[in-house]
A and B are shown apart, each in its own frame.
Chain A
Amino acid sequence: DQQVKQNSPSLSVQEGRISILNCDYTNSMFDYFLWYKKYPAEGPTFLISISSIKDKNEDGRFTVFLNKSAKHLSLHIVPSQPGDSAVYFCAASDNRDDKIIFGKGTRLHILP
């Protein structure tokens, strides 16, 4: 049973436009959410996170929005750049243990 779902396996966005990556979760005990970015032949790298006490966190071109009632979070990238082409993993954790549950990832293609 997948607790963290990224329902879009891939997404194509024009360079300069906004990229919106979505993530849904089922476990209401999750209290911390993270996004990781992965290039081919490399390990994932941390991008941005948000605590369940907030509904928005911004870091430069990247903003994560959390809607706890809908158990939904999204990552916005504005403006999208060619270097943003990668696989993006949504992840969630429960403060009661150290496990992080990852989604299957969304492959983002930034089109020239």
Chain B
Amino acid sequence: DSGVTQTPKHLITATGQRVTLRCSPRSGDLSVYWYQQSLDQGLQFLIQYYNGEERAKGNILERFSAQQFPDLHSELNLSSLELGDSALYFCASSVTPGAHNEQFFGPGTRLTVL
């Protein structure tokens, strides 16, 4: 158990809908990262937050947004969903930002768009 929790575990929805994925980092970790893993793809970095502020952005679509709240949990919002958004979404956390710091991953949320 990494200490990072993600809810829900599974989500099935229809095209055009909007969903929210939630992540609680390990106790004491200030940095949260979001990744997408599509079929046959590696982990694609989406976005990073540190202590409530956006710190780095990857290949995140404009239909997607995220935020980190004062209690440090984070939410990833996906809107106008398309079939191609079906994927595993991972959240990770680390004590401080910086790619050299070990990231602790949650178990992921599997999103299926029908």
Contact = CB atoms under 8 A, between A and B. Distances in A.
Interface of A: 4, 6, 32, 36, 41-46, 49, 51, 89, 91, 93-95, 97-105
Contact of A105 (B42, B45, B105, B106): B42
Q: Tell me the dominant secondary structure on chain B's binding face.
A: loop
Contacts of B56: 97-99
A90 to B, nearest CB: 9
A32 B43 contact: no
A43 B99 contact: no
A95 to B, nearest CB: 8
Contacts of A91: 43
A107 to B, nearest CB: 11
A4 B43 CA distance: 11
29 contacts: A6-B42, A32-B99, A32-B100, A36-B105, A42-B107, A43-B2, A43-B92, A43-B108, A44-B90, A45-B2, A45-B105, A49-B102, A91-B43, A93-B100, A95-B99, A95-B100, A97-B56, A98-B48, A98-B97, A98-B99, A99-B58, A100-B45, A102-B35, A102-B42, A102-B43, A103-B42, A104-B40, A104-B41, A105-B42
Contacts, number: 62
A94 B90 contact: no
B70 interface: no
A14 to B, nearest CB: 27
B98 interface: yes
Given A41-B107, A98-B48, A93 B41 contact: no
A95 B43 CA distance: 19
A94 B40 CA distance: 24
